[in-house]
Structure formats: C-alpha cells, structure tokens
Amino acid sequence: MAMFEKYSPAGLTGLWSMLFFLACHTAFWAPFTKTMAVVIRKWVKRQPCAEQFDWLNHSTLKASYGVHMDMEAAGTFGCEIIATSNLQHFFGAALCVPALFPLVAGVLGINMDVAIFMANNGALCEAGWEIGDLLHRFNDRVLRGRVDMQPTGLIVLLCFHHFMAISMVLPMNVHYGGHLLFIETVFLLQFAAGLACSVQQYGFMLDITKPRDLVQMKVCVVSALVCMWYSRGYRYCVIYYTFMTEFSETNNTTMMVAVTVAMSMMGLINLMFLYDSWIKFTKYINMSITMSSRAAKAAKRKSL
C-alpha cells in the first residue's frame, strides 16, 4: 500500500477551511512572537552577556549566512529567533506528535482523524507565522525605512526559507494531509529549527571561560549538529527521494515539479544551517579553558 493511503482522509479537509485556519495562524503567531521578542530583548540587555550575545549573533549572520547587520539589529534578531523557536516552532512540531506516534495518541485519547487535523494545523501555523513575518519585515523595510533592521541579505535569506511552507502547505494539506512523510517533514523542520536555534542562542549567553559553561557549550553544539545533520541532511534527502518515487508512480508531474522547487530552495538554506552547525562544532568541541579565554578576549576586542 502506498504511503499516500496510510491515513485517509486528512483531518483538515477543504481549501476554504484551511484558508480560514491559515488566516488565524497568520493573525496570531507573528504579532505574538514579535511581542515576546521585545520582552526577551529587554531581559537580555540586563544580562552581563548582552554585549557577547549581540556580537555572536552579528558574527554568525555575517560568516555563515552573508547577512550584514549592526550589533543592535543582530541582537534583536537573535531575540526573535528565541521567541519563534521556543513558541511557534515547538508548538507546531508538538501538534504533529500524535499522528507520528500512535502510542502517544492512544495515551492521550486522540483518534487518528483528530491527530491528522492537529498535524495539518502544525503545518499551517508555520506557514501563517512566515506570512506574518514577511508582512512585518515589509512594513519595517518599506513603510518605516528600517533598512538597518531589515537588510537586503536578511530579506533574501528569509524569502528562501519561507518559500517552502508558504507555497506547499496548502496543496499538501488538501491532497496529502494524512501522508506520514508530509507530517514527518513538518515535524522535523520545525523541531530541528526549534532545538538547534534554541541551543545556539543559549550558547551565545554562556561564559565559556568557566568550565561548567564550556561543557554546556559543547553539549549545545553537539545537539545542534546531530539534530541538523539528521533532520535537514540525511532524512531530508530520504523524504524527498520517497516523494519523487511515489509521485512518479502516480504520474503526478505537477507535484514532482512543485515539491522539487520548494525543497531545493529550502535545501539551500539547509546547507547554510549544516555548515554553521559544523563550524561551531569544530570550534568548540576540543576547546580548553585556556583557548576559550583567548577566544573570549578576541571577541571582546572585535565587539568594541
């Protein structure tokens, strides 16, 4: 039996119903995460690590993603990442769990139609947040003239990142909302982003000249590396190949092309994520306290 037939029907059926839920997620997630980012930013500024946090976000954006932002803008973006990762991404991933793990659904008393309905909303909340995020950045860049907060490099990066969910969630929910690989894709992309970005931003607040914090940093970079290379590397390629095989067997050329374009654009972003996680892993995994002290002093001089 083809994987398309594993779960049927999808829990959330009908284009109009999905457009309604998409509008609800758009109206909620972007304003909510932006508001929480402001709260987090105020908290970060009161911490001893504030200058380091801004500098590490600034240097990471520049070195790994080619995005040039001043220290204040980079620190603000880092706080947006914290808010999005710990609220929207983890929430969207959690909605997929009952459909992926029937044992969990059974323990919670959730039947499979409801579980798929939840997973479909997990996908829609990601697409809704991304639509709202682009609208927010358009308002900042075009209407408010805040090029410092929304540089061209960041806009291009986020357009590539947001393309997949914005373009593919609706058609996939309509036609293949109960497809296990689709639900797994939604879970992996959101969980991987949530975990990797959360531990990275946490690591930016650590004082690696202290043995305990250095150990925590090593745990962070290992966690991010494993998560990224499995979900956005190995498993991402396996899922794409399986989709192409099944679409080919059903002569669905339209979906073959659409999925290829969307997953290729996200694939470019994934390569940046994989590169960044590898660079941080190689930088910190064998670092000693002496080396960390030198690195901290060098970073401080650059941030001045």
pLDDT tens, position by position, 22-59 = 999 999 999 999 999 999 999 999 999 999 999 999 99
* Count of structural domains, the chain: 1
**In 204-252, alpha helices (H):** 211-229, 235-249
Enumerate residues 6+ apart whose C-beta is below 8 A from 110.
98, 118
Model pLDDT, residue 5 = 42
- Cα–Cα nearest to 208, from 74, 303, 300, 85: 300
How far is CA 248 from its chain centroid?
29
Token representation of residue 278: 């590898």
Report how far apart, in Å, the C-alpha atoms of 195 and of each of 37, 69, 116, 147 are.
17, 24, 23, 29
How open is the CA angle 241-247-250, to the nearest 5 degrees?
A: 145
Residue 2 domain-assigned?
no
43 falls within a domain: yes
Q: What is the DSSP string of 81-117?
A: HHHIIIIIIHHHHHHHHHHH-HHHHHHHT--HHHHHH
Phi/psi at 111 (nearest 5 deg)?
-75, 165
Per-residue model confidence as pLDDT tens digits over 266-286: 999 999 999 999 999 998 988
Q: Which residues of the chain have pLDDT under 50?
A: 1-11, 303-304
Domain of residue 79 covers 9-303
The pLDDT score that the predictor gives to residue 83 is 96
Instruction: Read off the tokens for 264.
Output: 């290729």
Please provide the DSSP assignment of 142-182 as one string: IIS--TTTS-HHHHHHHHHHHHHHHHHHHHHHHHHTT-HHH
Does a structural domain hold residue 135? yes
Domain membership of residue 1 (yes or no) is: no
Is 3 within the bounds of a domain? no
Beta carbons of 201 and 114 less than 8 angstroms apart: no
